[in-house]
Structure 1
Amino acid sequence: MDLTRLSAREQLRALERGEVSSRELTTAHLERIARHPEHNAVVTVDADGALAAAEASDQRRASGEADAALLGLPVTVKDSLETEGLRTTCGAAELAEHVPGRDADAVARLRAAGAVILGKTNTPPMCQDLQTNSPLFGTTPNPHDPRRTAGGSSGGPAAAVATHLSPLDVGSDLAGSLRLPAHYCGVHSLRPSYGIVPTRGHIPRPPGWLSTSDMLTLGPLARSAADLDLALSVLAGPSPDDSPAWRLELPAPRHERLHQYRVGIWADDPYCAVDSETGALLEQVAKDLHDAGAHVDNTTRPVSMADSDRLFQTLMFANSSASASPEAFAAEVELADKLDPEDRSPRTIYPRARTMRYRDWLHANEERQRLRRQWAGYFGDIDVLVTPAAPTAAVPDQTGVPVPERHITVDGERRSYWQQTTWLNIASLVHLPAATVPVGRTAEGLPLCVQLIGPYLADRTVLHLADLLTAERS
């Protein structure tokens, strides 16, 4: 048996039954990583540390101390998450020698749960691209077609899980950085509800910062929705500073069976139209849900995608200015001051947002809170919303193409490179849990996912429906 092809839960069951040791599992994954350098997904391997942790896990099991949720399970983590004593670069040349003295809070939770850290997975510099290429480590290609991108910025994590280098990875998601690579590589992912997984220790905020973006979340990638749920049970909870008083108890799924669910379908939108294969997949998913007895609503729309995307871009660009050098920020302020006050075209969003006054940010945040209330009202009648994950399956890799010249093609139409994540950003803006679920393939054999969005803190409802949908489509 190829142990690396087992899901995370299956590997844990094998450990619990004594059918395999953690050292054997860890060795199998390390050997697979070494045999397949073409995937270029795991870019820093900690073989000695992983084998030592595996042996310690086996000793704990032998002594009857097997009470940790991930005891002995080999995992990887995105190279944007700090790991004590192990290089953490976030794909950036300036951090090539950065070796943290402390784990990110999420990594500490993995270790506390008994996970064995195999190494770190590739990401573009400072997580700032929709494909994964680093000056330190090169390109992570799509596992299904090396001419195409694995997505970004969690391309390394998605490719590692897809190619069985790791059963589970933890990455980050602001503008779809978890969900886009999962879609392109054909694996499951979860962007948890904002705030339930501590983010301290995540770069690109400079090493040592305690704060991060007000839309960033950390979440798991795996080969099943059940494995995402397992990871969520370990990762979710109050930050160390809040844990003396606060506890987190996520609600159980809203329903038990598929026919009980009320599902909204948002299959397409003129603001970010999808290609014919993606549209056909959404139609088929809607039919499958209807045939299974679920209540399916194809007509309601929770928000205006155009308005939501405009606000998302405003808040994202405002947040990204935190890491700018004083000199660079001063230049941006000078540029913004020269803009025509009457010019509100899309090209002015970036400079205006990067340099906005705090009062303007407060007004934008108030608009976001009103949108959150609008979404909450929508989920009074709908349990989960199903949307496309992206306009197309994995697009060609454009490493070497200047960013202004990059684009995607949707049914022959040239479109903005950044529209790859427009469907994903609608959940990021308003802090909602969102999962990607691989449920189809293109005629060329590329994976196609759908996105499932649920009410705030209804992460387990989203994952439960993802599990039911996967079973229905298999």
Structure 2
Amino acid sequence: MDLTRLSAAEQLDALSRGKVSSRELTAAHLDRITRHPEYNAVVTVDAEAALEAAKEADRRRARGRGGTLLGLPITLKDSLETAGLRTTCGATDLARHIPDQDADAVARLRAAGAIVLGKTNTPAMCQDIQTGNELFGTTPNPHDSSRTAGGSSGGPAAAVAARLSPLDIGSDLAGSLRLPAHYCGVYSLRTSHGIVPTRGHIPRPPGWLTSSDMLTLGPLGRSAADLDLALDVLAGPPPEEAAAWRLRLPAPRHERLGEYRVGLWADDPYCRVDSATRALLDRVSRRLRDAGARVEATTRPVSMADSDQLFQSLMYASAAATAPAAAFAAEVEAAAKLPENDQSPNAFYLRSRTMRHRDWMLAHERRVRLRRQWADYFRDVDVLITPAAPTAAVPDQTGVPVPERYITVDGQRRGYWDQTTWLNLAGVAGLPAATVPLGKTSGGLPLSVQLIGPYLADRTVTHLAGLLSRV
């Protein structure tokens, strides 16, 4: 048996039944990484330490000592700091950055017994939706090397899809987990905002204790069960608050597929999807109805246009925190000179980047009201299903300047950043959202749907993901 074909849940089951050792699993994945450099997904390998940790996991298991992930080999996005192991976030000025402390999430994974194989590729400072950088080059899509793996968690998604790792942990602000998972045909979970500590994630720069107020961490795997495994370990209060409270996420709202009340948002004039994506959503709708689920396809929780504009404004404002002082001063000066009637994208960007704190508080009030709209919607709907993106994986454009990049949707040229518009719905409201691979294009590229759930209903989202995948 090729052990790398097993999902993370299946590998843990084999470990618990004594069918395989952690050292065997770890060696199998390290061997595959070595034999397949063309995927360029795992950019820093920690083979010696991984094999030694696997040996210790086998000894612990033999003594009857456990751990939720004991002996499971995993990889980590190179934006998560790892003690004693290079963490670059794809940036040349961090090429020699070796942290002395694990990110909080990484510490939890190690405490649960996970074996860290190495780090996976990301665009420099996670600032692109395809994956390439000067340090390590480009990570192609494992299904078609001319296509992008997506970003910024392109390395994690490609590693899981190419069987270099059964499980990876990445980050998601503007779809950075979910877009690569969709393009590479693996499962991903953007966790409810605030339930997984983000300290030790770059960006912010090394040493910062805070991060973007829309950033979340979450898993990528080859099954919905893999997402649950990681969620069990990752979710909980940050270390400095753990003395006072615990997190107990609600159980799934229902047990059977036919009991679910599902919203379906298959297309929208603000961000049209292609014919293959619409056909997949139609097929999902039929399967749900056949199973007895109630499908609501007309009610919309929010305005996509208003939600997306708010998301972009808050994202630009948050990113300004780490701008060099001189560069930010120049942006403030440029924004002050803008004519009042200038509504161009550049003017929107500058005004958002340099907004006063009062303006940010007003924008945050709009965000909280948006969250209330979602909460009202989810009183009558358990999970909303949407496209993950307008299309399957698009051609890689690493060598093209960002302003010149674009995508094509049913023959029509569209903006490059339209790739994440559907994903931004959950991001601005801090909601849990999963991508679930449920189909393929005529050319064999993966197609996924996005599942969005109520705040803190992460287990409902992953449960429905598993039920959908089985039908």
Interval of TM-score (by shorter of Structure 1 and Structure 2):
over 0.9
Q: How does 1:236-315 map onto structure 2 within 5 Å?
A: 236-315=235-314
Who is 1:335 aligned against?
Answer: 334
Shift of 1:268: 0.2
Q: Is the 8 A contact 1:176 1:421 kept in 2?
A: yes
Partner of 1:349: 348
Asked whether the 8 Å contact 1:79–1:88 carries over to 2, the reply is yes
Distance in 2 (alpha carbons) for counterparts of 1:334 and 1:409: 36
**Cα shift at 1:345:** 3.6
Letter in 2 for 1:329: F
Superposition RMSD in Å? 0.6
> In the alignment, which residue of structure 2 is the partner of 1:429?
428
Residue 13 in 1 paired to residue 23 in 2?
A: no
CA apart distance, 1:13: 1.2
- State the Cα deviation string for residues 261-316 of structure 1 (Å, max 9, x = none): 00000000000000011011111111110111000011010000000000000000
TM-score between both structures, scaled by the size of structure 2: 0.99
SS of the counterpart of 1:448? Answer: strand
C-alpha offsets along residues 408-456 of structure 1, whole Å, 9 cap, x if unaligned? Answer: 0001111000000000001000000000000000000000000000000
Q: Distance in 1 between matches of 2:470 and 2:80?
A: 33
Distance in 1 between the 2:11 and 2:428 partners? 36
**Deviation of residue 347 (structure 1)?**
3.2
Could you list the per-position Cα deviations for residues 175-222 of structure 1 after superposition, in whole angstroms to 9, with x for gaps in the alignment? Answer: 000000000000000000000000000001010000000000000000
- Contact kept? 1:313, 1:349, Cα under 8 Å: no
Distance in 2, Cα, partners of 1:315 & 1:93 = 27
Deviation at 1:53, TM superposition (A): 0.6
Q: Does structure 1 residue 36 correspond to structure 2 residue 33?
A: no
Q: Secondary structure at the match of 1:272?
A: coil
Q: Secondary structure at the match of 2:227?
A: helix
Runs of 4+ in 1 over 4 A off after TM superposition: none
Question: In the aligned structure 2, how far is the partner of 1:62 from the partner of 1:318?
Answer: 52
Correspondence 1:48-447 to 2 at 5 A:
48-65=48-65, 67-447=66-446
Q: Distance in 1 between matches of 2:24 and 2:283?
A: 42
SS at match of 2:175: coil
Gaps of 5+ in 1: none
| Matched position secondary structure for 2:240 | coil
- 1:78 touches 1:169 (CA, 8 Å); kept in 2? yes
TM-score (norm 1): 0.99
- Secondary structure of 1:440's match? strand
Q: What is the one-letter code of the residue matched to 2:322?
A: S
CA contact (8 A) 1:42 1:156 kept: yes
Deviations 1:348-378 (A, max 9, x none): 2110010000000000000000000000000
CA contact (8 A) 1:76 1:166 kept: yes
Distance in 2 (alpha carbons) for counterparts of 1:43 and 1:178: 18
1:240-275 Cα distance to aligned partner (Å, 9 max, x none): 011000100000000000000000000000000000
CA distance in structure 2 between the aligned counterparts of 1:307 and 1:344, rounded to whole angstroms: 15
Superposed displacement of residue 16, structure 1: 1.0
Q: Across the two proteins, how many residue pairs are aligned to each other? A: 471
Write the distance in 2 (CA, Å) between the matches of 1:442 and 1:173.
25
In 2, the alpha carbon distance for the partners of 1:216 and 1:299 equals 30
- 1:456 aligned residue: 455
2: distance between equivalents of 1:455 and 1:387? Answer: 14
Q: 2 CA distance for matches of 1:293 and 1:395?
A: 35
- The answer to whether the Cα contact below 8 Å between 1:193 and 1:459 also exists between their aligned partners in 2 is yes
Decide whether the 8 Å contact of 1:132 with 1:149 is kept in 2.
Answer: yes
Distance 1:365 1:462 in 2: 26
1:25 paired residue number: 25
Greater CA drift, 151-160 or 6-15: 6-15
Whole-Å separation in 1 of the counterparts to 2:293 and 2:216: 30
The 2-side partners of 1:348 and 1:450 are apart by 33
Aligned equivalents of 2:470, 2:458: Cα separation in 1: 19
Structure 1 CA distance, aligned partners of 2:303 and 2:431? 16
Identity %: 75
CA offset digits 1:102-124 (Å, max 9, x no partner): 00000000000000000000000
Distance of 1:229 and 1:348 partners within structure 2: 42
Letter of the 1:265 counterpart: L
Whether the aligned pair in 2 keeps the contact of 1:436 and 1:449 (CA below 8 Å) is yes
Query: More displaced, 358-367 or 329-338?
Result: 329-338
Q: Which amino acid aligns with 1:369?
A: V
Hey, what does 1:4 align to over in structure 2?
4
